């Protein structure tokens, strides 16, 4: 798939822009075009806490993989960081069509991270209390945008 060429044409009023190349290059170019053409989108993203999925995916590429419908954490690290990477991967994977859901049960998180389920539950509770993950009414967990700084040592 990476050797396939993609061509995208965008028409905005009188402006017509074409992007052609590998899918990742085209995706980045389109995002750059929209952020430069419509700078208000960046302001809205910051005000609403929305996550730049492309940038987050780029940051995750050395840490996680999607394989056979599963999230694989590729590096050894502490339990909290493994959980945050897992949830960030589910978030990105869902938006990019690589994964079915972004809210995960503690049992699923334990399986994807290689943690004992009791350890995963304890760390999830700590992460929730710190505001780094969100717990749904159904008992599932999801990625919180403010955990990007925790994962990658920067602000969101």
- Mean pLDDT for each consecutive 10-residue tract of the chain (156 residues)? 77 82 81 67 51 84 90 92 95 88 96 96 95 93 87 65
Query: Which sequence spans correspond to the domains of the chain?
Result: 5-48, 53-152
pLDDT, residue 38, reads: 62
Which tokens go with 156? Answer: 């969101």
- Whole-model pTM over 0.85: no
pLDDT, residue 22, reads: 84
Give, in order, the Cα–Cα distances in Å from 114 to each of 9, 76, 82. 43, 10, 9
Which one is the CATH code of 53-152: 1.10.10.10, 1.10.3720.10, 3.40.50.300, 2.40.50.100?
Answer: 1.10.10.10
Q: Which residues contact 121 (CB under 8 A, 6 or more apart)?
A: 106, 110
């Amino acid at each position: 798939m990476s050797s396939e060429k993609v061509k995208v044409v965008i028409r905005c009023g009188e402006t017509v822009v074409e992007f052609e190349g590998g899918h990742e290059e085209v995706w980045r170019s389109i995002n750059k075009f929209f952020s430069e053409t419509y700078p208000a989108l960046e302001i809205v993203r910051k005000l609403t806490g929305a996550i730049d999925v492309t940038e987050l995916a780029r940051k995750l590429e050395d840490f996680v993989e999607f394989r056979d419908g599963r999230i694989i954490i590729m590096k050894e690290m502490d339990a909290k960081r493994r959980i945050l990477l897992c949830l960030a991967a589910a978030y990105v994977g869902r938006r990019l069509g690589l994964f079915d859901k972004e809210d995960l049960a503690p049992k699923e998180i334990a399986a994807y991270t290689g943690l004992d389920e009791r350890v995963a539950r304890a760390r999830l509770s700590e992460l929730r209390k710190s505001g780094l993950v969100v717990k749904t009414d159904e008992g599932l967990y999801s990625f919180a945008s403010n955990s990007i700084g925790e994962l990658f040592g920067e602000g969101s």
